[in-house]
Amino acid sequence: MKASNYNFFYDFPEEGKTLAYNSRTAALALMEKDKYDSYQKFQNENDITYLDAELIKQLKLGGFILDRDLSEIDIMKSRLLRNRYSTRQLGLTIATTLNCNLGCIYCYEKDFRNNKKMSQEVLDKIVELVMNQAKGLDSLSVCWYGGEPLLDMNVIRFLSNKFMQICEENKIEYSASIITNGYRLDRSLAEELRGFKVFMAQVTIDGPKEIHDIRRPLVGGQPTFDKILDNIKETSDVLNISLRINTDTTNKDELDDLLQLIKNSDLKEKIHIYLGHVKNSNDCYSKNSCMTTKSFTELSYEFDEKVHNNGFHSGFYSFPNLTGPYCTADSMNSMVLDPEGYIYNCWTEVGNVKDSYGSIVDESFEGNINLRLEYLLFEPFNNDKCSSCKILPVCMGGCPNSRVSGEDDRCSEYKYNLQKKLEDYATFLIKQSSMKEEHSII
Ligand code: SF4
Ligand code: SF4
């Protein structure tokens, strides 16, 4: 037996125990002090006789120890490849339009806006794509995206009806979500979306009115704050609203005022609130205004705590689960589609045809296959920086688009706050008195 390379142990004084976490298995446990001492002796002296049979069983179960000839890298690699090339799930991010009614200062799609409508041919080809896979699918998840997806509700109507019908006939689990600026999201549209199994709407507000209206005005410059907040109030009992606050150095000091304002809006316990990290994707924004991942993580942690303490849903008790693949960009059976039927790896590429790797309507289109392969064939286990990282199972090399763009600052937020997150989570579980099997006490 040998110790895992992915073990983390922290003193947990509240319980007089040691908090043990393994990032390769996502096991979390509280260890009695004497058990932890035995484990340390085993590790330091490489002598298994320090561990009794029950402790060996529990440590093995959590992946804290494993057979000497097992390679943890190989285990992770096989899991990553299995998931990456799985065809049991299909994920479609569909930009109903590349048009938008807002002119946000950091929009990474601003160079690719256009008014082109999705043609019937494209709509039919998308349906055909799902039909062709239907027999082998367990689930289909769709994210309605844009531009502003609600500017072309007819695309959502047509495709949702088809998707739901195919899924029902083939016993496929169907779910959908939408990323909208919220300006058009009134109650009747929200109810219609709900009928199309849209369970979550991500809506963005960037600060109190005077800040938000500078950052996210209508294309003509008019304010949007009041209408978006009214829409959130009107729809929060119809859809799960996830309120995103895109944050950088220029609005980070306004977050408390915004939270206070939302608190006064009778939205407690109704919405989820979190910070989004504004990045300079596609050279869309001033890099100097963007926060580093480390400082963003610190800010986000403090903010999540406040959000939680004020009675909203938050990511305060998020747990470092296993990742892999990272997102749509490094998954074989996930794709981003634009209104003309071009297929992309990543959300930030949509509309930029030189990054597209295929077309669902034009078989002669020679896409950017090299870029596709750069995403798909990446294995963080071969990367100098990632291969020795203890957070690797949780991060898997970070945002693929940042990587191919040469961005070095792409480590997981857990790189900077793992201990605090685990302590908070364990405290939460103890409060709930529900240390489940996977979060057991050794
Ligand atoms: S590559 Fe990065 S930016 Fe693109 S979809 Fe994945 S996580 Fe998002
Ligand atoms: S990107 Fe950073 S945190 Fe992620 S695996 Fe690589 S070194 Fe670790």
Tens digit of pLDDT for each residue in 104-163?
A: 999 988 889 999 999 999 999 999 999 999 999 999 999 999 999 999 999 999 999 999
Q: Whose CA is nearest to atom 6 of ligand 1?
A: 327
Residue 91: nearest ligand to its CA?
Answer: 1
Instruction: With beta carbons less than 8 A apart as the criterion, state whether 112 and 355 touch.
Output: no
Q: Is 346 in the pocket of ligand 1 (CB under 6 A)?
A: yes
More confident residue, 283 or 336: 336
Separation of 398 CA from ligand 2 center, angstroms? 6
Mean pLDDT value across residues 82-91: 97
Separation of 195 CA from ligand 1 center, angstroms? 28
Q: What is the CA radius of gyration of the chain?
A: 23
Amino acid 434: pLDDT: 59
Q: Which atom of ligand 2 is nearest to the CA of 410?
A: 1
Q: Whose CA is nearest to atom 6 of ligand 2?
A: 386
Query: What is the C-alpha to C-alpha distance for residues 252 and 169, in angstroms, rounded to an integer?
Result: 48
Instruction: With beta carbons less than 8 A apart as the criterion, state whether 210 and 249 touch.
Output: no
Q: Which atom of ligand 1 is nearest to the CA of 402?
A: 2
At residue 438, does pLDDT exceed 70?
no
Amino acid 10: pLDDT: 97
Looking at every residue in the chain, the average pLDDT score rounds to 94
Query: What is the C-alpha to C-alpha distance for residues 30 and 10, in angstroms, rounded to an integer?
Result: 10
Q: Is 395 in the pocket of ligand 2 (CB under 6 A)?
A: yes
Instruction: With beta carbons less than 8 A apart as the criterion, state whether 180 and 216 touch.
Output: no
Separation of 289 CA from ligand 1 center, angstroms? 20
Separation of 324 CA from ligand 2 center, angstroms? 13
Measured torsion, CA atoms of residues 106, 108, 109, 112, in degrees rounded to the nearest 10: 110
Q: Is 76 in the pocket of ligand 2 (CB under 6 A)?
A: no
Q: Is 389 in the pocket of ligand 2 (CB under 6 A)?
A: yes
At residue 81, does pLDDT exceed 80?
yes
Q: Is 201 in the pocket of ligand 1 (CB under 6 A)?
A: no
The rounded percent of the chain whose pLDDT value lies above 70 is 98
Q: Is 328 in the pocket of ligand 1 (CB under 6 A)?
A: yes
At residue 213, does pLDDT exceed 80?
yes
Query: What is the C-alpha to C-alpha distance for residues 390 and 325, in angstroms, rounded to an integer?
Result: 17
Which DSSP letter does residue 50 get?
Answer: G
Query: What is the C-alpha to C-alpha distance for residues 37 and 404, in angstroms, rounded to an integer?
Result: 44
* Interval 259-283: pLDDT, tens: 999 999 989 889 999 999 998 877 7
Alpha helix (H) ranges present in 255-322? 255-263, 293-309
Amino acid 327: pLDDT: 96
* Interval 216-260: pLDDT, tens: 999 999 999 999 999 999 999 999 999 999 999 999 999 999 999
Q: Is 325 in the pocket of ligand 1 (CB under 6 A)?
A: no
Of the candidates 199, 210, 191, 209, the one whose C-alpha atom is nearest the C-alpha of residue 242 is 199
Instruction: With beta carbons less than 8 A apart as the criterion, state whether 45 and 39 touch.
Output: no
Identify which of 23, 391, 405 to mutate to test ligand 2's pocket (most ligand atoms within 8 A of the CB): 391
Amino acid 248: pLDDT: 95
At residue 11, does pLDDT exceed 70?
yes
* Interval 16-75: pLDDT, tens: 899 999 999 999 999 999 999 999 999 999 999 999 999 999 999 999 999 999 999 999
At residue 303, does pLDDT exceed 70?
yes
Mean pLDDT value across residues 189-214: 97
Collapsing DSSP to helix, strand or coil, 241 comes out as strand
Residue 326: nearest ligand to its CA?
Answer: 1
Q: Is 400 in the pocket of ligand 1 (CB under 6 A)?
A: yes
Query: What is the C-alpha to C-alpha distance for residues 399 and 150, in angstroms, rounded to an integer?
Result: 27
Q: Which atom of ligand 1 is nearest to the CA of 349?
A: 4
Alpha helix (H) ranges present in 143-284? 153-170, 187-195, 209-215, 225-235, 255-263
Q: Is 358 in the pocket of ligand 1 (CB under 6 A)?
A: no
Residue 398: nearest ligand to its CA?
Answer: 2
Q: Is 371 in the pocket of ligand 1 (CB under 6 A)?
A: no
At residue 440, does pLDDT exceed 60?
no
Q: Which atom of ligand 1 is nearest to the CA of 401?
A: 1
Amino acid 12: pLDDT: 93
Amino acid 304: pLDDT: 97
Q: For 92-101, 212-221, 273-282, 336-345, which range has the lowest pLDDT when averaged over its residues?
A: 273-282
Collapsing DSSP to helix, strand or coil, 106 comes out as coil
Instruction: With beta carbons less than 8 A apart as the criterion, state whether 239 and 180 touch.
Output: no
Instruction: With beta carbons less than 8 A apart as the criterion, state whether 140 and 173 touch.
Output: yes
Number of C-beta neighbours around residue 123 at 10 A: 17
Strand partners, 206: none
Separation of 140 CA from ligand 2 center, angstroms? 30
Amino acid 414: pLDDT: 97
Q: Whose CA is nearest to atom 7 of ligand 2?
A: 386
Query: What is the C-alpha to C-alpha distance for residues 327 and 331, in angstroms, rounded to an integer?
Result: 7
